[in-house]
Amino acid sequence: MLTGKVAIITGAGKGIGRATAVEFARAGARVVLVGRRPDSIEEMNNYIAALGFDSISIVADVSNFVAVNKMAKQVKDRYGRIDILVNNAGIASTKTASWHMPTLEIDDDEWDGVLAVNLKGQFNCAKAVMPHMMAQKGGSIINLSSTSALVPTFGSAPYCASEAGIMALTRVLARELASYHIRVNCVAPGLTLTPMQDSMPEEAIDMAAGMIPLGRAGLPLDIAQVILFFASDGLFVTGQTLLVDGGGTMH
C-alpha cells in the first residue's frame, strides 16, 4: 500500500506514533522515527529493524523550527523524497501528569509550552516538509488532534485550544497545498489507551469507556489504521477531520 514511500512520524517512540510506525512499515513505507527522547525512538528503530523493515531515527524537538527543518533536509538527503508526514507529537501539560489544571492556575510557561509542542510543532513540521513535497508535486500530511477540541474537558484550556487550532491549521494547509496535489487531513482520537492516560484512574477510564457506544476505549492501533487510510495514494479527500472515538462524540 505504501511501498517505497518515505514517511516521517513525529512522537514515534510510544502510543499512537509507535503503532503508526509499525503499520506504515508493514505497508512498505520507509519510516523516519522522530522524537525528543533518543532512547525511545532508537528502541523503536531497533524493533522495526528486527521485523525486517527500513527505518531511521532522528532526535528533534518539534517546537524548534531549525531542528525540524534540519530533520527534513536529512530525510531528503538520505531518501531523495518525503511523501508522508504524520504530525503526532503532543503533550497534555508541561508541568503535571494530570489533565486538570484550572485556568487561574495556568501561567505563561504552561500555556506557551503546550501550544509550542502541539500546535506550533505541527506548523513547524509541515512548513519544513512542504518545499520538498511541493517540488515533487505530491504528498500527504496527517495531523493528529483530539475530540477534546470539540468536547472540551474541565481544566485543560491549553490542550483543548491547541487541538482546535490543529483542526483549523489542517484546513488552511489543505487549501494552500491542493494545487500541488498534497493532501492535508486530520485524525482526532477520543479516549485512547496511550501513555498520556497513565495518570487517569482506572475507574475513570472504565466509566468513560462505558459511555462510548462501541463499548470500549480506543487502542493506538485503532488510530494508526485511520492514519494509514489517509496516507493511501489516490484518496480524493483533503481538509477533513475524522473523529476516531467509537461514537463517543455523536450528537
Counted residue by residue, the chain has a size of 251
Q: Answer yes or no: 47 catalytic.
A: no
Nearest to 113, CA basis, from 170, 153, 159: 159
Q: Which three cell numbers stand for residue 99?
A: 489533565
Element (H, E) at 86: strand 84-87
Contact present, 242 and 188 (Cβ < 8 Å)? yes
Single-letter amino acid code for the residue at 120: K
Q: What are phi and psi of 100, to 5 degrees?
A: -100, 110
| Residues 213, 250 contacting (CB under 8 angstroms) | yes
Considering 47, 79, 159, 180, which one is annotated as catalytic?
A: 159
Residues taking part in catalysis: 159
